[in-house]
Chains A and B, each alone.
Chain A
Amino acid sequence: EPEVTQTPSHQVTQMGQEVILRCVPISNHLYFYWYRQILGQKVEFLVSFYNNEISEKSEIFDDQFSVERPDGSNFTLKIRSTKLEDSAMYFCASRGTREQPQHFGDGTRLSIL
């Protein structure tokens, strides 16, 4: 069964550094999402992406965050200057149509030192 792939599984970065989290959504999917889960808390929405542009973003998704679909297969989340509070598990998800469920990747655990 096709799946969403995220790399790396664990990223350790110094505070203030830029980090890029990578996702390969399921190949014929059109809607893409990033979520995060701080340890011990619930999953929170960051951003959704459709037709090569952001369709919705949360208040968490400030100017330090950006997303890109550079080559038609990858979907990346960039954090420009990481803070300690960015430490979390980041999940990518994709769906084929608006009526289908979202498929999640296994997540990238981001640790900011």
Chain B
Amino acid sequence: KNEVEQSPQNLTAQEGEFITINCSYSVGISALHWLQQHPGGGIVSLFMLSSGKKKHGRLIATINIQEKHSSLHITASHPRDSAVYICAGGTSGSRLTFGEGTQLTVNP
């Protein structure tokens, strides 16, 4: 059974801080997704990773396949980054198995 666990559950930061959210996943997952869910509920895909590192603006996602671990980093955090960040795992073309999510609050 595919499992995804992420930490922390809740994270509060001051504007400008560097943020890291971690995700561990089980055998059987070959692609790891990072998603953002806003208070209204909508989900936006941020990254899909099967190896290495990806960067988009102030967001960086890394994955270590041997350790089955991925991290999402936010540099120079801003209050508008406040959202729930979710990691989800799957195999190519298949369903996603979601983590519990990390509620991030960035205070001005």
Interchain CA distance A112-B35 in the complex, whole Å: 28
Interface residues in B, total, Cβ within 8 A: 22
A109 to chain B, nearest CB (A): 7
Which residues of B in the span 25-84 have a Cβ within 8 Å of any Cβ on A?
33, 35, 40-45, 47-48
A28 interface hit (Cβ, 8 Å):
no
B15 interface hit (Cβ, 8 Å):
no
Report whether over half of chain A's contact residues are helix, strand or loop; otherwise say mixed.
strand
**Size range of the chain A interface in the assembly:** 20 to 34
CB pair B43 A31 closer than 8 Å? no
CB pair B98 A42 closer than 8 Å? yes
User: In the complex, what residues of B have CB within 8 A of residue A105's CB?
Assistant: 42
CB pair A58 B41 closer than 8 Å? no
Interchain CA distance A98-B96 in the complex, whole Å: 12
Contact segment of A18-26, A43-51, A65-73:
A43-51
Which one of B41, B48, B94, B97 contacts A89 once the chains associate, using CB atoms below 8 Å?
B41
Question: Which positions in B face A, CB cutoff 8 Å?
Answer: 33, 35, 40-45, 47-48, 86, 88, 92-101
